[in-house]
Chains A and B, each alone.
Chain A
Amino acid sequence: MLQYVAQRLLLLIPTFVGITFLAYAIMLLAPGDPVDLFFAGGLGAGTEGVDSDRLAEVKADKEELRRELGLDRAIPVQYALWLGRLLQGELGTSFKDRQPVWDKIRARLPITIIINVLAIILTYLIAIPLGIYSAVRSGSVFDQISTLTVFMLYSLPVFWIGTLIIIFFGGGDFFAWFPPGGLRSLDYDTSWSLWQKLSDYAYHLAMPLLCTTYTAFAALSRFMRTSMLENARQDYIRTARAKGVSEPVVILKHMLRNSLIPVITILAGLLPALIGGSVIIETIFSIPGIGQLGYQSVLARDYPVVIALFAASSFLTILGILISDIALAWVDPRIHFGKGRA
């Protein structure tokens, strides 16, 4: 087991290097230059109508900026330099505002983590009991309704629901039950009591949290029920019942434990899906989190920030796969690691 984990951890390195190099290459090969974009902001997009003296000056300035940002070197060299800096814990500085990338990420990380961790906890708290109940009462009206609901939730695009919530409940022409976005009220005051601050956050986070939770919930719940149903049909369940094991023990110990296997595997996919979902949800609700930072940086071609976020999320994705593999081994004693793997 330990050997397997060590082996997998070692394999993480080439995978990580491969993925980040791919991202680096795609970004730098793409049409459009961050330096041009930077200058376009100050001087207008075109250079028409600028006299030749100015033109030469601008060109020299651009060259200098390009050198300063390291964009004049070959892509593999740039990548190697980036990787070297990363190993020293250095993420570089943003092209846009020359802030250290790490500071930008750190400022926006907590809110994204809070929303996603809350969403995962809520998801598992609702989905697992619901999956159990649905499978135990398989075929009942409750099961049919909940299965249909979950199925519809699964196909509901989150950007649609988010938009509808803002239009109908976010204080437009209809109801003003929730704020249309942001994190704090306009009259937010640092002198507020802790309770006031918390309830203000809750007021603003309720809708984004709802959107994050329902997507994860729909994905998990479907798996939970199918998995429970598949196990309910197995012979060992019949055997357990036949030898007189009480129903709660059959369900909670025999069925549930085996049904958790695919649910754990899902967690690996949930992590990257939530990162992707953050982009949409944070953009809709104007939440200053990682997703919004990523989206804005992509639009501004702020490569150092984009690469850092890309590296972080691919690291999380690989880690998620690894963790779910290990958790799987822990839950399912039939899985042996090490030699002899197909």
Chain B
Amino acid sequence: MSSGAQNYRGRVWAELRRQKRAVWGLSMVVTLAVIAVFADFIAGGTPLYLQVDGQSHFPLFREYAARAGIAKLPPELAGADFRELNRRADAAIWPPIPYASTAVDITGEVFAPPSAQHWLGTDALGRDVASGMIHGTRISLTIGLVVVAIQATIGILLGGLAGYYGGWIDIALSRIFELMLGIPTFFLIITVAAIFPPSIYAIMAILGLTGWIGIARFIRGEFLKVRSLDFVTAARAIGASDTRVMFGHILPNAVAPVLVSMAFGVATAILTESALSFLGIGVPQHLVTWGSILAESRASTFAWWLAVFPGAAIFLTVTAYNLLGDGLRDALDPKLDVR
């Protein structure tokens, strides 16, 4: 089985790389992931290197270490105002965008249009938009990936149970799937998001708990189709447990299409989160996300930079994941393999 799966995987990979759109989507997805991981190095209020009074410091790394619990921040850096320190520093290396995404600065430029100092301008509280965009990437991607992980877990588990065991389990679960299909999802999400106190985790939970029906129905169908095939009977005959047959033998056959719907799922989750933040019922007020920057532009229509940039980021991210999903689907579809 392993060599066959390898071949199949290799074929899909080769097919995927042949498609220009998919390659473009994949490289965008990777770029975004890199931005999200290294957000603090691209934009932030903590310098990478600082030389004060003849002493060298690496504040950002120290901060990471402190957060991980390995080391403590030296007393002269703990709670220090780096901008203040910067004035008497002999040398300093700052991230290219030297502003924290949430740093309020109402003494300086409020609603500053894009300039050399603030590349993408500032918002009503003087927060740097470019920094907010970089750190927003982290929040958006985290939400997208966590939501899809929840959806896939629930979908595979329930769909697998229904398809594998059949009988009354299938009937009961299928009724639940049908019930979920009839729920006006977006309205439910808005209701829950508005009623519960805003939090990233709440958003992840709502989106994760509402979007799994597609995967569940697909997995159920796949398990129904495959469960009576010879290799499943063979696996059972040599004494494999139900769990092993389900996840070790049947599931690998259905994983690829699930990946397709997961790629689309990330796009949808990011879109929905931004919509909620745009409506003001998404992430908490103190966080800066693409949706929340865009929301600010509603009240201040003259500040076009508050609308153009975050919207473009949402658009590009959603496009990237949609392209990836599209390309993956075409790569997996034997019907389209005519070239």
Check A301–B195 contact: CB distance below 8 A. Answer: yes
Check B178–A298 contact: CB distance below 8 A. Answer: no
CA distance A299 to B194 in the complex (A): 6
Take A160-B315, A163-B311, A233-B338 as given contacts and tell me if A168 and B304 are in contact as well, using a CB distance cutoff of 8 Å: yes
CA distance A21 to B6 in the complex (A): 48
Take A163-B298, A313-B187 as given contacts and tell me if A19 and B195 are in contact as well, using a CB distance cutoff of 8 Å: no
CA distance A157 to B197 in the complex (A): 25
Check A157–B314 contact: CB distance below 8 A. Answer: yes
Check A279–B187 contact: CB distance below 8 A. Answer: yes
Take A163-B307, A276-B184 as given contacts and tell me if A32 and B195 are in contact as well, using a CB distance cutoff of 8 Å: yes
- Asked whether any CB of chain B lies closer than 8 Å to the CB of A172, the reply is yes
Check A157–B195 contact: CB distance below 8 A. Answer: no
Check B187–A15 contact: CB distance below 8 A. Answer: no
Instruction: Give residues of chain B (297-334) contacting chain A, Cβ–Cβ below 8 Å.
Output: 297-298, 301-302, 304, 307-308, 311, 314-315, 318-319, 322-323, 326
Check B319–A157 contact: CB distance below 8 A. Answer: no
CA distance A250 to B81 in the complex (A): 74
Check A155–B191 contact: CB distance below 8 A. Answer: no
CA distance A159 to B307 in the complex (A): 10
- Asked whether any CB of chain B lies closer than 8 Å to the CB of A18, the reply is yes
CA distance A152 to B323 in the complex (A): 10
Pick the interface stretch among A22-30, A41-49, A99-107, A205-213.
Answer: A22-30
Take A30-B196, A172-B302, A180-B301 as given contacts and tell me if A159 and B187 are in contact as well, using a CB distance cutoff of 8 Å: no
Closest B residue to A159 by beta carbon equals B278
Take A272-B185, A314-B183 as given contacts and tell me if A172 and B301 are in contact as well, using a CB distance cutoff of 8 Å: yes
* Chain A residues within an 8 Å CB radius of B307: 160, 163-164, 167
Closest A residue to B318 by beta carbon equals A155
Q: Which of A26, A155, A284, A298 has most B Cβ within 10 Å?
A: A155
Give the dominant DSSP class at B's interface: helix
> Could you mark each residue 115-147 of chain A with 1 if its beta carbon is under 8 Å from any beta carbon of chain B, else 0?
000000000000000000000000000000000
- Asked whether any CB of chain A lies closer than 8 Å to the CB of B157, the reply is no
Check A31–B196 contact: CB distance below 8 A. Answer: yes
- Asked whether any CB of chain A lies closer than 8 Å to the CB of B275, the reply is yes
Check B181–A321 contact: CB distance below 8 A. Answer: yes
* Chain A residues within an 8 Å CB radius of B188: 23, 26, 310
Closest A residue to B191 by beta carbon equals A298
CB distance from B91 to the nearest CB of A (A): 42
CB distance from B302 to the nearest CB of A (A): 5
CA distance A157 to B278 in the complex (A): 11
The 6 closest A-B pairs by CB, nearest first: A276-B186, A160-B311, A313-B184, A30-B195, A155-B319, A172-B301
Known: A26-B192, A160-B311, A280-B279. 19 other contacts (CB 8 A): A15-B178, A26-B188, A27-B195, A157-B318, A159-B279, A160-B307, A163-B297, A163-B298, A167-B301, A167-B304, A233-B338, A275-B184, A279-B190, A294-B190, A298-B190, A313-B184, A314-B184, A317-B183, A318-B182
B: residues with CB less than 8 A from A are 178-179, 181-188, 190-192, 194-197, 224, 267, 271, 274-275, 278-279, 281, 294, 297-298, 301-302, 304, 307-308, 311, 314-315, 318-319, 322-323, 326, 335, 338
User: 16 A-B residue contacts at CB 8 Å?
Assistant: A26-B192, A31-B196, A32-B195, A157-B315, A157-B318, A160-B315, A163-B294, A166-B301, A174-B304, A180-B301, A275-B187, A277-B186, A299-B281, A301-B195, A313-B187, A317-B184
